[in-house]
Amino acid sequence: MLDCVIIGGGPAGVSSAINLKLLGKSFLWFSGPSKKVERAELIKNYPAFPQVTGKELSKAFKKHVESMDIEMRGEVVTGVYETDGHFTLLVKDESFEAKTVILCLGVEASKPIGGEEEFLGRGVSYCATCDGFLYKGKKIAVLCTDKQFEHEAEFLAGIAETAYVIPLYKGYEIKAPNARIILKKPVSVSGDTRVRSLSFKDESVEIDGMFILRGSVSPSTLLRGLKVEGGHIAVNRDCSTNIAGVFSAGDCTGRPYQYAKAVGEGNIAAHSVVEYLTR
């Protein structure tokens, strides 16, 4: 069993990974698209780099982890479950077991759509490869938030009878004969015991299921029972959460949303993992 799984590839995740490696622990590291560093035009508050562009800092982070033979897997973790004092993490159609977890999830600009959490597991899914086959010959909606997920949207369209694909970015290239592109933001999913329809401001479509392909999952959906306060994961000074063995670092634990704070907390979380494992 792994000592730890780190979720999130931003500065907090980078720092957790570097420190866990230096501390000799076994871990896997997963992340959805991580673009917040690259997007910064000019950074002036990161120690040792008085004037650095986001692209330069991102490159430096990559170079650092590669130099230590640390691999980040570009996959989204769709669920974390606690069983008998350890954790099972779901990633596409695989699962991994770990003694501890560090959540470095960042903060999402977009809110979940109405009904998303209510219907999760009852027609709403985050995982194309795990649940796609359930919708063979059926009608589905696929919310695609990043170009990176287009192949998953095409895979789903290949299974379903009709796939209403909703790309939330410019320059989409979704090639599937039965994909119907909708260029509007969805408002809510609704239904009875299962999802039945997806509503936009001015119309709704009947569906049997909805796939939400995003680089992140809200913390309380990812891990049931996790204490969240004002939209942030509640942590103690040692970055521990209310669940023993689960630690958290970076923007997802609260303001200020800054690189140095994320990196500092990533360091603390890694050291706390080691203390927890020793205990």
Ligand X SMILES: Cc1cc2nc3c(=O)[nH]c(=O)nc-3n(C[C@H](O)[C@H](O)[C@H](O)COP(=O)(O)OP(=O)(O)OC[C@H]3O[C@@H](n4cnc5c(N)ncnc54)[C@H](O)[C@@H]3O)c2cc1C
Site string for ligand X, 32-51 (x = CB under 6 A): xxx-xx-xx--x-x------
Ranges of H-type helices in the chain = 11-22, 36-39, 54-67, 128-131, 150-159, 219-222, 259-278
To the nearest 10°, report the CA torsion of 44, 46, 48, 49.
-40
If one asks whether residue 106 binds ligand X (CB under 6 A), the answer comes out as: yes
Which of 168, 92, 183, 157 lies closest to 130, judged by CA? 92
Candidate segments 114-122, 176-184, 200-208, 213-221, binder of ligand X by CB under 6 A: 213-221
Q: DSSP code of 110?
A: S
Helices 54-67 and 11-22, packing angle to 10 deg: 20
Q: How many residues make contact with ligand X (CB under 6 A)?
A: 34
Largest CA distance in the chain: 57
Cα separation, 204 vs 209, whole angstroms? 14
Site string for ligand X, 231-260 (x = CB under 6 A): -------------------xx-----xxxx
Our CB check for ligand X shows the closer of 52 and 157 to be 52
If one asks whether residue 209 binds ligand X (CB under 6 A), the answer comes out as: no
Site string for ligand X, 8-27 (x = CB under 6 A): xxxxxx--------------
Residues that bind ligand X (CB under 6 A): 7-13, 30-34, 36-37, 39-40, 43, 45, 76-77, 104-106, 215-217, 222, 250-251, 257-260, 262
